[in-house]
Amino acid sequence: MKKINIPLVLLMYAMIFNPPVLSFGWISENFPVKGLNWIWIVMPLSLIYLWMNRKHLKKYVNLKAVLITECVIAGMLVYCMLIAVINHNPVTAFGYMVYWMAGDIPFGLAVWVYLRKKGQGFEELLDHLLGAGLVMAATSVLAFIPAVKEFFVRIMEAYGIPYVRRLSLYRNYGLAANMTATASFVQAVLALTALYRAVKGRKIWYAFFPLLALSANLNTRASIIFILAGMAAILVSQLWSRNIKEAGKFLIVAAVSVGVAFGGKYLVQVINPQTSAWLAKGMSQMADFVSGAEIEEGYEGGYFGMLGEMSGWAVLPRGIHLVFGEGRGILWGHEEYGVHSDIGFVNDLWRGGILYSAAVIGLYILVLWKIMHSKTVSWQDGIFFSGFFLLVFLVNNVKGSFFIHSDVTAVIWMMIPALLWNRAEEAAPELPTKGIKAEGA
């Protein structure tokens, strides 16, 4: 069993969740830049590491595939910037593509080259990703201590994160820049990944699944239904493959997790009744959505209220702008543009119209198809991760945008070098069943 590198785990936590500790708000409230994204720290380190290990980069990575990917992103960036200029909108709205090209991709490559040099592979990459999720989960648990949560809130306020004080009354358990949005979806993704790996043989991840799930559910109620759907899919896959013994273990873990969830509900009710009421209201909204009952629209109705809020889906650009877009999103545009929608599919149409939306969705589906047929992992694992990322896209692109620089896309870019750009195309070995050792800093 290969060791986990603790400094690498912490760097991955910083790159994924962007803990808002690099803040200038402590210096002055009038400072022109509130905070610094961790990508500006990690990016030069990644590029330096890749340059120093360029021979290994050529050995372990299909650089032609990387170049094609960078060129495709650059082409989309030029198109969107051109549309923005024509419509007199700022081009800075598409900085996320620069983040992808100059930050996320080099870091993903650096991580993969480092692991390959150590004789490690995709399984160890997942171990490090799950380790980053556990760091985030640890901050969620620490936030149950009022003094620690207040400290986290002050850090996020100094960073310039909006509404953090109000939201902290019943959520914001942990330390991440996008606590109530993509950070929670990532924790849900990692929770299900831990469960899947446990089913496949890495039993130790059974123990950490409840902690990752708790971290997700405390900050975004929609992650509850996402995790339940994922658990059902994993169980069906085990029954389909006639792995009755493992399915039985899975059911035991699921029952224990449900028990922990109910116990945690009462604990939360004692610690913070407002959080307990918020979670209970979310469960009620989910039940109403499934049963077809009426749900409050908009923010009061939560994620499922957004699904039923037809006004959010109907705010589309008109005429030729529907085809080419206007070079801007309307996620936070209510005051400035007079229109607003939290729905990612709608925002993509405003950014680049039907042409841009069709391009990014088509390319993403192509990536999922290639993951499904990747020779780095087994066929079953390829099916799991491609289906998994499709579900993440569909869920995450309703309330919020998927095609931006976020916690979710950071995780995907960390996995792409292993799944699509790995030069040594060998099938994944069977998972060992021993525990995980930690390597000191």
Q: What is the DSSP string of 319-378?
A: THHHHH--S---TT-HHHHS----BHHHHHHHHHHHHHHHHHHHHHHHHHHHHHT-SSS-
> Is there a contact between 186 and 134 (Cβ–Cβ < 8 Å)?
no
Mean pLDDT is lowest, of 48-52, 63-67, 285-289, 354-358, for: 285-289
Q: What is the mean pLDDT of residues 103-115?
A: 96
Q: Output the pLDDT for position 160.
A: 80
User: Could you identify the residue written with the tokens 């330096």?
Assistant: 48
Q: What is the mean pLDDT of residues 279-287?
A: 63
Beta bridge pairs of residue 5: 439
pTM of the model: 0.85
> Does 53 score more than 90 pLDDT?
yes
Q: Output the pLDDT for position 300.
A: 52
* Confidence class for position 425, pLDDT limits 50, 70, 90: very low
Q: Output the pLDDT for position 184.
A: 87
Q: Output the pLDDT for position 210.
A: 85
> Does 396 score more than 90 pLDDT?
no
> Does 154 score more than 60 pLDDT?
yes
Q: Output the pLDDT for position 267.
A: 62
Torsions phi, psi of 426, nearest 5?
-120, 145
> Is there a contact between 288 and 302 (Cβ–Cβ < 8 Å)?
no
> Is there a contact between 369 and 150 (Cβ–Cβ < 8 Å)?
no
Q: Output the pLDDT for position 430.
A: 45
> Does 129 score more than 50 pLDDT?
yes
Q: Look up residue 215 and give its amino acid.
A: S
> Does 273 score more than 80 pLDDT?
no
Tell me how far apart the alpha carbons of residues 392 and 188 are, in angstroms, rounded to a whole number.
Answer: 10
Q: Output the pLDDT for position 433.
A: 43
DSSP letter at 247 equals H
* Confidence class for position 432, pLDDT limits 50, 70, 90: very low
Helices 273-291 & 244-271 angle (0-180, nearest 10): 130
Q: What is the mean pLDDT of residues 415-440?
A: 62
> Does 195 score more than 50 pLDDT?
yes
Q: Output the pLDDT for position 371.
A: 92
pLDDT digits (tens, 9 = 90+) for 77-103: 999 999 999 999 989 889 899 999 999
Q: String of b and e for 231-246 (b: at least 16 CB within 10 Å)? A: bebbbebbeeeeeeeb
Q: Which H or E run contains 439?
A: strand 438-439
Tell me how far apart the alpha carbons of residues 35 and 23 are, in angstroms, rounded to a whole number.
Answer: 4
Tell me how far apart the alpha carbons of residues 269 and 143 are, in angstroms, rounded to a whole number.
Answer: 15
Tell me how far apart the alpha carbons of residues 286 and 280 are, in angstroms, rounded to a whole number.
Answer: 10
Smallest Cα–Cα separation from 440: which of 124, 4, 42, 2?
A: 4
Ordered DSSP codes for 373-426: T-SSS-HHHHHHHHHHHHHHHHHHTTSB-SSSSSHHHHHHHHHHHHHTSBSS--
